[in-house]
């Protein structure tokens, strides 16, 4: 009916208004220091040692409180506001890593930062990264750029060139959520990738589903054949750990080891491993 149609229209309209409001609020979030990062460690399975951290963005929204990235990252991507947020996150992550290195004396620690496809539309992308690395005194090898398969799927010469330049400057490039939905396999070799992150869904299901286990095994042998490093994501149980160990997967991340946490917690967790 006409009425239903109108209601649908109003519902749609208020969604659009919500999205516009959220975008406007996000626009000032960086300046107002409402964004912050949490850090989730990467663990070397055999030794239990922390080898690095992933920086994950959070928004402390003035009204609704702490907001999950799934709720605001898509909006930030659609509006292009992500570019500014990523610049901020990268700089913050570098500063944190610098403090961690100073604290521990361990210059092998690394930090990974999530990048969206839109970040690569920024013509100043590489210069920004290099400037921030220089400014914060971080060596490029200690930086992992986490990108998704979707970006590779674009088959963009521009993206390819930027990634190549990042590699030439010795930054590491990790493919996030590897194996999910997109058949990027056919052009993986065209990109200067250094690490594959096995998606959480595979880790979660490999213990119960032989097909998924087969998939995990083939990702591991693929990485070995291509000389790529592997990180298993979403490791939640002892059983996951044992299975990954059997499969000779060296590095893992997940709630079994640690949740994402504020810098001061990450720092004290880290401090513990150097006093042993």
84 binds, among Ca ion, ligand C2E, none (CB under 5 to 8 A by kind): none
Q: Cβ 41 to ligand C2E, closest distance in Å?
A: 10
* Closer to Ca ion by Cβ: residue 25 or 112: 112
How far apart (Å, rounded) are the C-alpha atoms in residues 117 and 153? 10
What are the angstrom distances between the C-alpha of 147 and each of 4, 71, 116? 42, 19, 7
* Closer to Ca ion by Cβ: residue 27 or 236: 236
* Closer to ligand C2E by Cβ: residue 57 or 166: 57
CB 187 within 8 A of CB 155: yes
Site of interaction with ligand C2E (CB under 6 A): 40, 56-57, 68-70, 73, 82, 86, 89, 114-116, 176-177, 200, 234-236, 253-255, 260
Q: Does 149 contact Ca ion by CB under 5 A?
A: no
How far apart (Å, rounded) are the C-alpha atoms in residues 261 and 238? 21
38 sits in which H/E element: strand 35-44
The count of C-alpha atoms lying within 13 angstroms of the C-alpha of 124, restricted to the half-sphere facing its C-beta, is 7
How far apart (Å, rounded) are the C-alpha atoms in residues 237 and 229? 22
Among 177, 198, 241, 252, binds Ca ion (CB under 5 A): 177
What are the angstrom distances between the C-alpha of 209 and each of 47, 202, 203, 252? 28, 9, 10, 20
Q: Cβ 85 to Ca ion, closest distance in Å?
A: 15
Q: Does 119 contact Ca ion by CB under 5 A?
A: no
Among 114, 132, 142, 184, binds Ca ion (CB under 5 A): 114
Q: Cβ 229 to ligand C2E, closest distance in Å?
A: 17
Q: Does 25 contact Ca ion by CB under 5 A?
A: no
Q: What's the burial of 254, exposed, middle or buried (CB within 10 Å: 0-12/13-18/19+)?
A: buried
Q: Cβ 273 to ligand C2E, closest distance in Å?
A: 19
Residues that bind Ca ion (CB under 5 A): 114, 146, 176-177, 233
């Amino acid at each position: 009916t006409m009425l239903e149609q109108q209601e649908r229209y109003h519902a749609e309209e208020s969604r659009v208004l919500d999205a516009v409001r959220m975008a406007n609020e996000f626009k000032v979030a960086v300046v107002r220091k409402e964004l912050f990062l949490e850090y989730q460690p990467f663990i070397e399975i055999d030794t239990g040692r922390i080898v690095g951290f992933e920086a994950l963005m959070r928004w402390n929204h003035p009204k609704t409180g702490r907001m999950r990235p799934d709720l605001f990252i898509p909006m930030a991507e659609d509006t292009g506001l992500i570019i500014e947020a990523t610049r901020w996150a990268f700089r913050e992550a570098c500063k944190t890593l610098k403090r961690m290195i100073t604290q521990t004396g361990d210059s092998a620690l690394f930090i990974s930062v999530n990048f969206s496809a839109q970040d690569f539309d920024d013509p100043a992308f590489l210069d920004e990264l290099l400037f921030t690395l220089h400014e914060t005194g971080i060596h490029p090898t200690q930086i992992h750029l986490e990108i998704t398969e979707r970006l590779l799927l674009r088959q963009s010469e521009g993206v390819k060139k930027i990634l190549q330049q990042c590699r030439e400057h010795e930054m590491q490039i990790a493919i996030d959520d590897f194996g999910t939905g997109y058949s990027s396999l056919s052009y993986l070799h065209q990109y200067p990738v250094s690490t594959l992150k096995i998606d959480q869904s595979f880790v979660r299901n490999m213990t119960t589903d032989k097909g998924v286990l087969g998939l995990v095994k083939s990702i591991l042998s693929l990485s070995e054949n291509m000389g790529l490093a592997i990180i298993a994501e979403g490791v939640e149980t002892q059983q996951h750990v044992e299975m990954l160990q059997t499969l000779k997967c060296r590095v893992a991340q997940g709630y079994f080891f640690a949740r994402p946490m504020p810098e001061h917690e990450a720092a004290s967790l880290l401090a513990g491993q150097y006093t042993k």
